[in-house]
Amino acid sequence: MLQQTTVRAVAPYYARFLERFPTVEALAAAELADVLKLWAGLGYYARARNLHACAKAVVEQHAGRFPSTPTALGALPGIGPYTAAAIAAIAFDARTTPVDGNVERVVARLFAYEPELPAAKPALRRLAERLTPDARAGDFAQALMDLGATICTPKKPACALCPWSGVCVARAEDDPERFPRKAAKTEGQLRRGAAFVAVRVDGFVLVRTRPARGLLGGMTEVPTTEWSNDFDQQEALTEVPVAASWRRVPGIVHYVFTHFPLELTVYKAKVPALTDPPPGMRFIALRDVAGEAFPNLMRKVLASAGVDARAAL
């Protein structure tokens, strides 16, 4: 949960998640849809799918006990080199070095390492490994992460409080904020599309589930057009999911994914009671909307159409 997300944002989700799934066996036995519902609003939903798949693998392949080596951990779904090293070091005290963004920043400043990220990542990892002690590797890993998170911060680092201030090359050069150096980001091209909020007069809204793989995989959404760079607004109503009197909702829903920004025009329509859903779609009760696995993008779409999609925190 803490990958790409702050502790403050994660804390309430973490508490609810452990209450619902107190053991790896409980998580493995759950339906993916239920896992995604608890994750809804936290973003980066591949993490939830990977976590569920990982729990199933631990139960089925390792009798419910996590392996202790980085290699074996790395073979589990959703666990890459960083997470494998973090679990091995912190949970099993293996002499290995998890390197996240905080650690990269500390090491780059400590050595005043000039090459730019992301190309510099392997070299920074090797430098971090040189620092790792033979004993208490887990404590060292957590201390190094916390050093970057609380003292060696991106802006205005508290160098006077740093235990490595006397040997830090970047501080000696009086320019710690210059490190780590990063290559300029290339922003993805804007995509556009239309979203359709069909509300039945008996209190239901039309939704569908996104494909299990890919962006927002397995999450719930209202029907939309394709999201494209050359979206033609004049053609939007040719793709409505049901025949109805559609009206355009004022404004645009803006959202930024990791690789591209998105703008959605929202259309809303009321349809008769007991209207059948199109193939691959379903109607859900408006009273159940808050508990459904809607990503934040879709919650914004629903809110723009006057449907309360706030997650029950």
Query: What is the tens place of the pLDDT at every residue in 230-272?
Result: 999 889 999 999 999 999 999 999 999 988 999 999 999 999 9
Domain 7-92 has CATH 1.10.340.30: yes
> Measured between alpha carbons, how far is 110 from 50 in angstroms, rounded to an integer?
34
Q: Is the peptide bond preceding residue 176 cis, with omega within 30 degrees of 0? A: no
The pLDDT confidence band at residue 300, using thresholds 50, 70 and 90, is very high
What CATH number should be reported for the domain whose range is 101-178? 1.10.1670.10
Q: What is the mean pLDDT of residues 221-234?
A: 94
pLDDT for the residue 73: 96
Tell me the mean pLDDT in the region 25-37. Answer: 95
How would residue 4 be classed by pLDDT, with cut points 50, 70 and 90? Answer: confident
The residues of the chain that CATH labels 1.10.340.30 are 7-92
Phi, psi (rounded to 5 degrees) for 212: -60, -35
Residue with tokens 């780590």: 180
- Portions of the chain given CATH number 3.90.79.10: 191-304
Cis peptide before 115 (omega within 30 of 0): no
Delimiting residues of CATH 1.10.1670.10 domain(s) in the chain? 101-178
Q: In the Cβ-directed half-sphere of 248, how many Cα atoms lie within 13 Å?
A: 12
The domain covering 191-304 belongs, at the CATH homologous superfamily level, to Nucleoside Triphosphate Pyrophosphohydrolase (3.90.79.10)
196: which strand partners?
Answer: 267
Q: Are strands 204-209 and 281-285 parallel, antiparallel or unpaired?
A: antiparallel
**Is the four-CA dihedral 90, 95, 101, 106 of positive or negative sign?**
positive
What pLDDT, on the 0 to 100 scale, is given for residue 17?
96
